[in-house]
């Protein structure tokens, strides 16, 4: 979904309110008043039937912004109570996503539907091309039996009047692993046993009903307690704000972070290690290797595609290596990975070196709450400068090209990119695993999001603009193979 939409603006506004409430003299009370401040008595009701429903949905979004799930939430507990509880929390909630049932529209099921544009033509190509006997003619016009329809869309393709359409449920439609379904009331439900935390449902829902549970209060509370809180900024961050990563580092230091590390430093380690591993696999006559830096892809392999696991690189992710460096430099620190997507929260749960994750939307809200204009700040250099290739990890093709460059032309590297995980690309990967070969290349970069990490659900900028910004920024960086 377009990054410039009202659902995203509303989420950002609430995050800013939550952060400002934390900075206030009375966090619980300031939090309790958020719905009333955003929808005061007599104000316009822009989205829902009445001001009371508007306020309740804002309340639900605020609860998610405080890091709580809406499933099983106590309706009797005031927002002030949730705010107080967030300050006592020892660790984030296990599941990264929550469904705001009140915001969920309860969309009609996915189905193929014949509209009134049907002319009842003599040719009846829809009837002739349906292999499942799902179409019949009633009163001279086509009708589709949903119980027989397999959603193949052949009838849509052949209708000369474009009278047949596919009605989709956005969250269900984009989920590549069938982790979202409807409950008895028609509301979305996430099966976390299947979920790979790709975040596609978060981006797709036009009502903003699927929400990432924020850890921002946990992070700010650690800063307030005087802990050494260190931010680790992912490579894709260079394309998100008007300002470079050196200015972003300055902004984070102004917000109370003890230090800021560039995850591209860890990406350089990943690229070099993966290049060595790739060369060894080719020497052992293995047909191909897939990359392993994307947490969403790793979740896909672990939960749904065990057949391709042997082809996946064993090299750790840039986040892993950076967090390791972070804890070596500051053994008593609180590490915070600054992320473009929800998938990194699932990775953080498996890594004791990553304490919290703050996404780009939350970082942007933090800067707004502190009235920080990144582009106006003086830059702060990093202790270690990362390579051009490491800084390109966040754009499509960047990982494969980094591994190729790190190999220094010692091995015949033939990169091939899976640009986004969906049902089609999953089938493609299964085919390679079944055949034991890939005719398109021997190093397969798999990125969960189209465009790479710059297409993550929590990214602020558009893919095209972010990619250009990263390319402009990295062109003068040092090469990885010198």
Contacts of 361 (CB under 8 A, 6+ apart): 8, 11, 12, 15, 458, 460
292 assigned to some structural domain: yes
Contact 258, 330 (CB under 8 A): yes
The predicted-structure confidence for 304-328, as pLDDT tens digits, reads as follows 999 999 999 999 999 999 999 999 9
Please check whether residues 83 and 189 belong to one and the same domain.
yes
Q: What is the mean pLDDT of residues 117-140?
A: 94
Residue 101: its pLDDT value, please? 87
Residue 292: its pLDDT value, please? 86
Locus of tokens 């558009």: 462
Please check whether residues 69 and 163 belong to one and the same domain.
no
For residue 130, give the DSSP letter. -
Contact 471, 395 (CB under 8 A): yes
231 assigned to some structural domain: yes
Name the domain count of the chain: 3
Q: In what order do the strands lie in the sheet with 334-339?
A: 259-262, 229-233, 334-339, 356-359
482 assigned to some structural domain: no
- Residue 418 domain boundaries: 218-474
Assign residue 145 the CATH number of its domain. Answer: 3.30.70.20
For residue 291, give the DSSP letter. -
Please check whether residues 157 and 273 belong to one and the same domain.
no
Please check whether residues 410 and 292 belong to one and the same domain.
yes
Q: Which residue has the higher pLDDT, 18 or 411?
A: 18
Please check whether residues 437 and 346 belong to one and the same domain.
yes
Taking the alpha carbons at both ends of the chain, their separation in whole angstroms is: 41
240 assigned to some structural domain: yes
479 assigned to some structural domain: no
405 assigned to some structural domain: yes
Name the packing angle between helices 79-88 and 51-65 (round to 10°): 0
Please check whether residues 149 and 234 belong to one and the same domain.
no
173 assigned to some structural domain: no
* Tokens, residue 456: 């993550």
Assign residue 433 the CATH number of its domain. Answer: 3.40.950.10
The predicted-structure confidence for 276-308, as pLDDT tens digits, reads as follows 999 999 999 999 999 989 999 999 999 999 999
pLDDT band at 398 (very low <50, low <70, confident <90, very high): very high
The predicted-structure confidence for 199-250, as pLDDT tens digits, reads as follows 999 999 988 899 999 999 999 999 999 999 999 999 999 999 999 999 999 9
Residue 482: its pLDDT value, please? 67
Q: Is 463 helix (H, G, I), strand (E, B) or coil?
A: helix
The predicted-structure confidence for 432-459, as pLDDT tens digits, reads as follows 999 999 999 999 999 999 999 999 999 9
Q: What is the mean pLDDT of residues 395-400?
A: 96
Please check whether residues 70 and 161 belong to one and the same domain.
no
The percent of residues in the chain predicted with pLDDT above 90, rounded, is: 83
**What is the C-alpha R_g of the chain?**
24
Please check whether residues 159 and 226 belong to one and the same domain.
no
Please check whether residues 138 and 278 belong to one and the same domain.
no
Please check whether residues 194 and 97 belong to one and the same domain.
yes
Q: Which of 415, 417, 391 is CA-nearest to residue 474?
A: 391
Q: Is 4 helix (H, G, I), strand (E, B) or coil?
A: coil
480 assigned to some structural domain: no
Please check whether residues 326 and 443 belong to one and the same domain.
yes
Q: Which of 277, 469, 270, 248 is CA-nearest to residue 387?
A: 270
Please check whether residues 155 and 267 belong to one and the same domain.
no
């Amino acid at each position: 979904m377009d990054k410039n939409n009202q659902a995203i603006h509303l989420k950002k506004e609430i995050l800013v309110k939550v952060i400002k409430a934390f900075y206030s003299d009375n966090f619980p009370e300031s939090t309790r008043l958020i719905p009333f401040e955003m929808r005061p008595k007599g104000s316009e009701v822009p989205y829902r039937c009445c001001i009371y429903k508007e306020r309740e949905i804002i309340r639900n979004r605020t609860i998610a912004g405080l890091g709580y799930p809406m499933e099983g939430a106590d309706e009797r507990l005031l927002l002030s109570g949730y705010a107080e509880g967030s300050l006592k929390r020892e660790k984030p909630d296990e599941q990264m996503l929550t469904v705001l049932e009140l915001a969920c529209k309860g969309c009609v099921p996915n189905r193929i539907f014949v509209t009134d544009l049907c002319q009842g033509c003599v040719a009846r190509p829809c009837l002739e091309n349906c292999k499942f006997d799902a179409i019949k003619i009633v009163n001279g016009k086509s009708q589709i039996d949903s119980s027989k329809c397999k959603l193949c869309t052949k009838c849509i393709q052949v209708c000369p009047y474009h009278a047949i359409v596919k009605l989709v449920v956005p969250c269900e439609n984009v989920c590549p692993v069938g982790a979202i379904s409807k409950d008895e009331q028609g509301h979305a439900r996430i099966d976390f046993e299947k979920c790979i935390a790709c975040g596609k449902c978060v981006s797709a829902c036009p009502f903003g009903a699927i929400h990432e549970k924020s850890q921002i209060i946990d992070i700010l509370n650690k800063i307030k307690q005087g802990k050494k809180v260190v931010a680790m900024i992912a490579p894709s961050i260079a394309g998100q704000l008007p300002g470079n990563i050196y200015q972003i580092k300055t902004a984070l230091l102004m917000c109370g972070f003890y230090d800021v590390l560039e995850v591209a430093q860890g990406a350089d380690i990943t690229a070099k290690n993966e290049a060595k591993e790739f060369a060894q696999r080719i020497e052992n006559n293995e047909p191909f290797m897939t990359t392993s830096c994307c947490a969403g892809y790793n979740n896909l392999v672990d939960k749904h595609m065990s057949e391709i696991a042997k082809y996946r690189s064993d090299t750790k992710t840039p986040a892993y290596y950076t967090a390791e460096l972070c804890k070596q430099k500051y053994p008593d620190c609180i590490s915070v990975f600054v992320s473009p997507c929800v998938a990194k929260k699932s990775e953080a749960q498996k890594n004791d070196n990553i304490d919290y994750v703050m996404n780009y939307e939350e970082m942007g809200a933090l800067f707004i709450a502190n009235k920080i204009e990144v582009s106006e700040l003086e830059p702060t250099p990093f202790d270690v400068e990362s390579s051009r290739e490491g800084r390109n990890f966040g754009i499509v093709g960047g990982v494969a090209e980094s591994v190729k460059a790190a190999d220094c032309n010692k091995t015949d590297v033939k990169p091939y990119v899976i640009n986004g995980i969906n049902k089609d690309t999953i089938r493609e990967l299964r085919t390679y695993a079944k055949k034991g070969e890939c005719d398109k290349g021997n190093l397969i970069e798999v990125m969960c999001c189209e465009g790479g990490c710059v297409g993550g659900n929590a990214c602020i900028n558009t893919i095209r603009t972010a990619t250009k910004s990263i390319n402009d920024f990295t062109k003068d960086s040092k090469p990885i193979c010198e």
